Chain A
Amino acid sequence: MPGKKLETLAGVIDAKMNRQLKLYLDICARCAICRDACHQYVTTQDVRYLPAYRAELIRRIYKKYFTKTGQFVPSLYEGRDPDENLLEELYDVMYACTGCRRCMYYCPYSIDTTWIQSVGKAMLLAAGKGSEMLTQLADAAIDKGKNIDLYKDIMRDVLKTAEKEMQDKVGDKEAHFPYDKEGANVLYAALAGTHSILPAAIIFHMAKEDWTLSMFEAANYGYFLGDAAKAKEIAGRIIDEAKKLKVKEVVVSECGHAHRVFKFFYEMWAKEKLPFKVSSILDKVSEYITDGRISVDPGKIDIPVTYHDPCQVGRNYGLFEEPRAVVKEICSDFREMTPNRAKNWCCGGGGGLVAEPALEEFRKTTGKLKVDQIRDTGAKMVVSPCENCRLQLDTLNEHYKMDIEITSMIDLVVRALKT
């Protein structure tokens, strides 16, 4: 019964309804001021990527099913059914968005297109048409959570090399990565791979932090997939670990969306108040430097350096000045990109796009604005405290032969760290 299915899919809008969504769906004037806010529209000139159009896809279903005038005269709003054609369009549009919310910044009504698009993703999932790749990545993370005991020893074993590197750097043969430490101040949720563990461990060691390393990676592909249940389960692995260890604070690695999930979304999904603080490693680094718990060589790096504000760190979390202060202290030739801070262009790799091979060419095209921005500064090094941004910048660096170095904040700090 296709008719029944259409209504069930439209019902997703109702299930996800709340005040802000209703406002967004009711009031958009389609002025399209958001046109030049979206890097994907600007670089492709494809109307499907124009934020107002993305939202319009959902709005047209809403109008037809949930408004009196739309039920009466659907053609007035070009009311549509969530049929195959529309679902296909939803897929192309929703899973292409990086979730940077630059359109929201410029919108006269501050319409949050990502919020509307989360309905679109939920609709796709309800139709069994969610992103295949993101589903696999999310399921793998959940599976890892269920079978963590299989991996604990392997992981600890493989991290021995990194542990040794830390001992050499800090000059302490007794320095170890702490695991499963009950009552520690900080549970550090890193990413898979030593690049996000080793520098953080060095910083924690030098700051004499009482910390412990999480067995799980902070990244959350369930969030990108738009599947709140899976996203909650993935984040829940670290939340449960933190509760079990009774830590005071969960510190999330340089991963924009992961931090945002723990900081903002988890409490909504789980309908509970977390018994510990959540912060970003950027907060900690800046706190350690300010409090004199670690110190860096001022002007250690003298090549021209610029800073890329990751959307999830800047616009969506509010860290603009703190990371800059650290970069400026370490780098003697700091150069600002234009625009920057809240107006910064998205790198083009957020939203899980780096995990979608089908979107690789698209990422290269839509990253052009970022390439130009970086080139205009003449910088030889870009600091960006977000894994997604760095993976995308790596792609751009290679594709556009930019010949720049891309580094994380903790790597930069460790390079200049006085030990």
Chain B
Amino acid sequence: MDLFSFTIAGLMVYAALAVFFIGMTYRICHWFSTPKASIRLGMFPKPKTRSGRWLKMLKDTILFPQALDVDPTMWFMAIAFHVAGLLIFFGHLRLIKEFTPIVSALGSKGMDTLAFVTGGTFGIVITVVVIYYLFRRFASPYKDISVPEDYLLLILILLVITMGNHLRFFGDVHVADYRAYVQSVLLFRPSFDAALAHSSIRWSLVAHVFLANILLMYFPFSKLTHTVGAFLANLVRSD
């Protein structure tokens, strides 16, 4: 591994993960250490039981059905974004450890096809949604309420995805080589194996990892903390 790749795809990954986890912990602790208002100002109708409130909170957070009524396009796009994002995240777990049961069911050829089709599809879906998000921000009234953070995050996400798509659609590196890299990072000995080191798309990988690092490091300080905060805020709704 050359020094530049080692810095970005090695050292920086640790820094990014550290900032992300410490930052999120700090953020969440900060929320919990701030006293609740001594008033229950939930919105009706609300469930009467505690478990009912939690179920409604989960429904409001995961499906936000009310938004479907008032802005179906945005609802659909938001669902598509989050579902695609989650599946892409899970797909990446294959780089830590192969999903052996699926491989034994489909065979290794079948597994590759599945990964290519799902990864490819969701990679495209999420690209389309992010481009929609971005264009929406340029139109009134959305541009009037948007701040640079909004554009910055969307552009970052778009770049991460674009690099990812580039690796998937134009890359000549097999999953085993990526897994070797990820595992080397996990073992604190970051390295590229020969196939990756000599591949033409190595720079795309470094760029992909670099941008993802930036995104991770900014995450705890951005509105992306809604990934956790939305659950808490929606619980207040049913309080």
Contacts and interface: CB of A to CB of B under 8 A. Distances in A.
A–B touch (CB < 8 A): the answer is yes
Pick from A19, A108, A314 the residue with the most CB of B within 10 Å: A108
Contact of A26 (B35, B60, B146, B229): B229
A120 to B, nearest CB: 16
B229 A76 contact: no
A109 B226 contact: yes
B99 interface: no
Interface stretch (B69-77, B101-109, B110-118, B186-194): B69-77
Given A22-B30, A23-B232, A47-B145, A33 B44 contact: no
Nearest to B60: A110
B234 interface: yes
B37 A109 contact: no
Q: Which residue among A27, A30, A107 has the maximum number of chain B CB atoms within 10 Å of its CB?
A: A27
Contact of B35 (A18, A77, A115): A18
B23 to A, nearest CB: 10
Contacts of B145: 30, 32, 47, 50, 52-53, 56
B3 interface: no
Interface string B188-206: 0000000000000000000
B172 to A, nearest CB: 38
A234 to B, nearest CB: 18
B144 A27 contact: no
Contact of A20 (B61, B70, B236): B236
Contacts of B45: 318, 320, 341-342
Contacts of B30: 22
B148 A30 contact: no
Contact of B36 (A18, A53, A265): A18
Given A20-B36, A36-B70, A30 B141 contact: no
Question: What secondary structure prevails in chain B residues at the interface with A?
Answer: helix
Interface string B204-232: 00000000000000000111011001101
Interface in A255-295: 264-265, 267-268, 271
A106 B69 contact: yes
Contact of A76 (B149, B230, B234): B149
Contact of B144 (A53, A68, A112): A53
Contacts of A161: none
B32 A343 contact: no
Contacts of A23: 31, 229, 232-233, 236
B140 interface: yes
A119 to B, nearest CB: 12
A29 interface: yes
Contact of A32 (B142, B148, B229): B142
Contacts of A108: 60-61, 64, 66-67, 78, 230
B174 interface: no
A374 interface: no
Given A32-B142, A314-B44, A19 B147 contact: no
A32 B223 CA distance: 14
Nearest to A72: B221
A19 B43 contact: no
B233 A111 contact: yes
B149 A77 contact: yes
B237 A104 contact: yes
B34 interface: yes
B233 A24 contact: yes
A369 interface: no
Contact of B71 (A30, A36, A69, A111): A36
A30 B44 contact: no
Interface in A340-373: 341-343
A122 to B, nearest CB: 14
A265 to B, nearest CB: 7
Interface in B138-173: 140-142, 144-150, 152
Given A20-B236, A23-B31, A314-B44, A29 B226 contact: yes
Nearest to A271: B38
A280 to B, nearest CB: 13
A104 B66 CA distance: 10
Contacts of B148: 75-78
A31 B136 CA distance: 9
16 contacts: A18-B34, A21-B37, A23-B31, A23-B236, A26-B223, A31-B78, A50-B145, A67-B221, A77-B149, A78-B147, A109-B233, A267-B38, A268-B38, A271-B38, A316-B43, A342-B44
Interface of A: 17-24, 26-33, 35-37, 41, 45, 47, 50, 52-53, 56, 60, 67-69, 75-78, 101, 104-112, 115, 264-265, 267-268, 271, 314-318, 320, 341-343
Given A19-B232, A27-B233, A315-B44, 6 more contacts: A19-B31, A26-B223, A31-B78, A32-B145, A35-B71, A109-B230
Q: 10 closest Cβ contacts across the A-B interface?
A: A318-B44, A110-B237, A27-B229, A108-B64, A27-B226, A268-B39, A47-B144, A18-B37, A69-B221, A47-B141
